[in-house]
Structure 1
Amino acid sequence: MSGMKVRLLGRRQALVGIAGAVTAAPVAAQQRVKSGTVYIEQVQVAFIGSGNVGSGTLHFQGRSYRFSVGGLGVGGFGISKMEASGDVYNLKELRQFPGAYGQARYGAAAGDKGSGEMWLENPNGVMIDLRTRRQGLAVSLGADAVIIDFK
C-alpha cells in the first residue's frame, strides 16, 4: 500500500484512495518496523460522510513533536470524542511523518464507553496503529483521508 497516493484534488479521488487503504491494510501490517509512538485527541462527526479534527503528539527518537490532524471520510453515524494511542512504524526521518494518510477504522461509542482500532498509512510507507477510546454516541466503520501536519 505504500505506493498508494491520496490526492486531495477532489472528494471522489480521495475516496478511491481510501478504498485501497481498507483492502490493503492486512498486507501492509506484515512489513513494519516500530519507530515511535503517538497520542491523538480528536472529535469526529459522521452521518454517512464523516469529518474529524484534532491534535496529537509524536514521540520519535527521544523527542516529542506536536501535530494537528483532520480529514474527511465515509461510513459511520453520530458524534464522538476520541482519544487514541499507538505505535508508529517505518518512520526513518521526521519529514516522512506529515502528509496525507489513508485510514481504515472500526468502533462504537455509547456515553463514556467505547473503543476501536484504526490503521493509517501515508505514501512514504509510514504506518500508525491506534487503539481508541471514544465518548459520545457513534458507530464507526469505514475509511477516511487524514491529513497530519506539524504545529
Structure 2
Amino acid sequence: MSRFRSIAVAVIAAAGIGFASAAHADTGSIRFSVYKAAFFIGGAGGEGTLTFHGRNYPISIGGISGGLAFGASKTYFRGTVRHIRRARDVTGVYGAAGGGGALGRGAQVIVMTNDKGAQLELTGRQVGLQVNADLSGMSIGLKK
C-alpha cells in the first residue's frame, strides 16, 4: 500500500510541475510591418517590436510563400503573443495557410504558433495590390 501511495504522490507531483510551468507562461504585445512581393513564389521581410514585462525588444521578420500569389504589399501587424516565459520564446518559424487580397487597402487576421508553443494572435492592415491563396512561413528573430 505504501508503494502505491509513493507512486501516486510522484504522479501528482509531476502533474503539479507541468501545471506550474504552464501557469508561469506569460503574455506580451507585438507589432511589426512586413513588405511582401510574390509571383507564385514570394518573399517577405520586415521589423518591429516585442513588448514583454515592460521592456521593448526589436525583432526582425523574414518569410517565404508558395501557391497562387501575385503582387506586392506592406502589412502593419499588431497583436498578442501568448505562452512565452522569456522574450526569446517568440523567436522561431511560424507557418500558415490562407488567402486574401488587397487593392489599395485590406485587412488580415491570423493566428500562428511556433515550435516553442508561442502563439501569435495578429490583426493587420494591408496596403498594396496583392492576391493570394498560399502556404507561407514566417520567421521571427530578436535583434541584438
Taking structure 1 as the reference length, the TM-score comes to 0.71
SS of residue matched to 2:116: coil
- How many pairs were matched up? 118
Q: In 2, are the aligned partners of 1:104 and 1:119 still within 8 Å (CA)?
A: no
Which is richer in helix? 2
Gaps in structure 1 of 5+ consecutive residues: 1-32
Please, what is the CA RMSD of the aligned residues?
1.7
Of 102, 107, 132, 2:95 maps to 102
Which is richer in strand? 2
Q: Using the alignment, how far apart are the partners of 2:81 and 2:87 within structure 1?
A: 12
Cα offset, 1:38, TM superposition: 0.7
Amino acid at match of 1:129: E
Cα offset, 1:34, TM superposition: 6.3
Q: In 2, are the aligned partners of 1:114 and 1:133 still within 8 Å (CA)?
A: yes
Structure 1 residue 83 corresponds to structure 2 residue 76: yes
CA distance 1:94–1:51, change in 2 (3 Å): same
Amino acid at match of 1:98: T
Pairing of 1:39-50 with structure 2 (within 5 A): 39-50=31-42
Cα offset, 1:141, TM superposition: 3.0
Q: In 2, are the aligned partners of 1:104 and 1:142 still within 8 Å (CA)?
A: yes
CA distance 1:99–1:148, change in 2 (3 Å): same
Gaps in structure 2 of 5+ consecutive residues: 1-24
Give identity over the alignment, percent. Answer: 34
Taking structure 2 as the reference length, the TM-score comes to 0.74
